[in-house]
Amino acid sequence: MSNETEKKVLTTNDLLKQYSNSIKTGLTNGTNYVNAFNQLNNTTEKEDLLAAAVKLTNYKLNTDFVVFPHQFSDEDVQLVFLERLLSLSGLEGGLQISNPEHVQKLLCKFTSLGDNTFTFTKSGKNPTGFFFGPTNYNRPLFYLNLQTKELLFHGSSLIDYFVVDLEGTDVIDLKAALGVLLKLAEILKESFGFKIDFNVLDGINGEFYEFAAGDIPESIMDELFVKSADQQFILMADQNGGASLTLDNDTKLQVYNRGSSDRPKWGAAIHDTNQTENWLYLLLDYPFIQEWYLDNKKQLEILSNQFIFG
């Protein structure tokens, strides 16, 4: 009641004052945005870079009184952040923003992957979460959340894209691009303590790549046995019904049940001297394993975080 009374007695002077304050607030808001953007663009400190990106994500630049017609999107901020983070880590050019003249939907490219472009898409579930994927395919290769400091790779999408969609591309080139993604994840982990789910890109020995089916029929193992033997690799029987395959350079692939017979949890693990081989690289390096995986994809698909990607 009293508020209404006050409004009624608003003078012209008050009105103008309010108006100019609102403009000023809007402009200050704009200035803050520009400052953060400059920081994103110019800082040489990784911490400041992350702070700027977090600040700019979901930044409400427009106010009732001041509207900015040209704005970078939140997706763009993520991409600029990654590109600059690589530069600051001495890895310029690993990822190039390919259309800087187009404000609002920046795309990027990997040197080794030609004209294929990639971009971010906002997650529908998490306001600060973004999916990174190829522009022409609706596949999230990874999920990035700078606010909660998380990066999660999506195993089956990575395989679908790098193994199936890009079939015919040199393995070296595919690995070069994947190497950039791996490097980024490592930098995020080491510089800021990000939680990373490397999924099929995890090269740590013994990392368990869990198959979607849980249980797998014996015929699938038979197929691996026959396909391996065709390439002069012998699939050996292991304890507990599992099997292992010794590949080139003493790289060892194991397929086994980590669960119980009642609640089977089949999956694969890789052991190699340098711990560089991961599930995706293995599929690229050994066409017969790739064929086996793709023939039985329904069962052998590697699970990713279902909450984030589901």
Partner 1 sequence: MDRKTEEDQFSQNDTVLSSALSQKMTYLNDLNESIIKGNDLKIYELIDPNRYATEAKGEELTEAKPDHYSLAADLNAQLSHHLSDKLITYLGKTYPFFYYHEYELGKFHIYFGNWWDHRMFGDLDPINVRFNFSEEEYNVLAQSFQLELENKRVNDDEMRQLGEENEKLTQLIGDQDKRDHQKETIRKQLKENEEKSPMPWEAGKVKEEHQRLNDALLELTNIDEQAANGRPKIKQNENKILALSKEETILNLEKQNIRASFGSFDAFNNNNDHLYANYLESLAEESQVSDGE
Q: By CB under 8 A, name the binding residues for partner 1.
A: 218-219, 221-226, 229, 234-237, 243
For partner 1, the closer CB: 47 or 222: 222
Q: How many residues does the chain have?
A: 310
Q: Which is nearer to partner 1, 10 or 226 (CB)?
A: 226
Write out the two tokens for 21.
């304050």
Nearest Cα neighbor of 188 from 244, 234, 150, 156 is: 150
Minimum CB–partner distance for residue 171 and partner 1 (Å): 27
Please state the closest distance from residue 228 (CB atom) to partner 1, in A: 8
Minimum CB distance to partner 1, residue 245 (Å): 9
CA distances from 127 to 122, 160, 238 (A): 8, 27, 46
Q: Which of 292, 175, 278 is nearest to 233 (CA)?
A: 292
Comparison of 10 and 229: residue with beta carbon closer to partner 1: 229
C-alpha pair distances (Å), 92 with each of 82, 96, 115, 185, 227 = 11, 8, 18, 16, 42
For residues 196, 246, 292, 210, the Cα torsion angle rounded to the nearest 10 degrees is -30
User: Measured from the CB of residue 288, what is the shortest distance to partner 1 in angstroms?
Assistant: 13
Amino acid at 298: K
Shortest distance in whole angstroms from residue 254 CB to partner 1: 12
- Please, what is the minimum distance in Å from the beta carbon of residue 222 to partner 1? 5
* Cα separation of the two ends of the chain: 50
Q: How far is the CB of 215 from partner 1 (least distance, A)?
A: 17
Neighbour count for residue 37 (Cβ, 10 Å)? 17
Q: Which tokens is 69 given?
A: 């017609």
Looking at the Cβ atoms of 130 and 256, the one nearer to partner 1 is: 256
Closer to partner 1 at the Cβ: 212 or 243? 243
Q: Of 239 and 261, which CB lies nearer to partner 1 in the complex structure?
A: 239
Token pair for 88: 């600051």
- Cβ proximity to partner 1: between 211 and 225 the closer is 225
**How would you list the strands of the sheet with 129-134, edge to edge?**
96-97, 108-109, 117-122, 129-134, 142-145, 150-153, 195-197
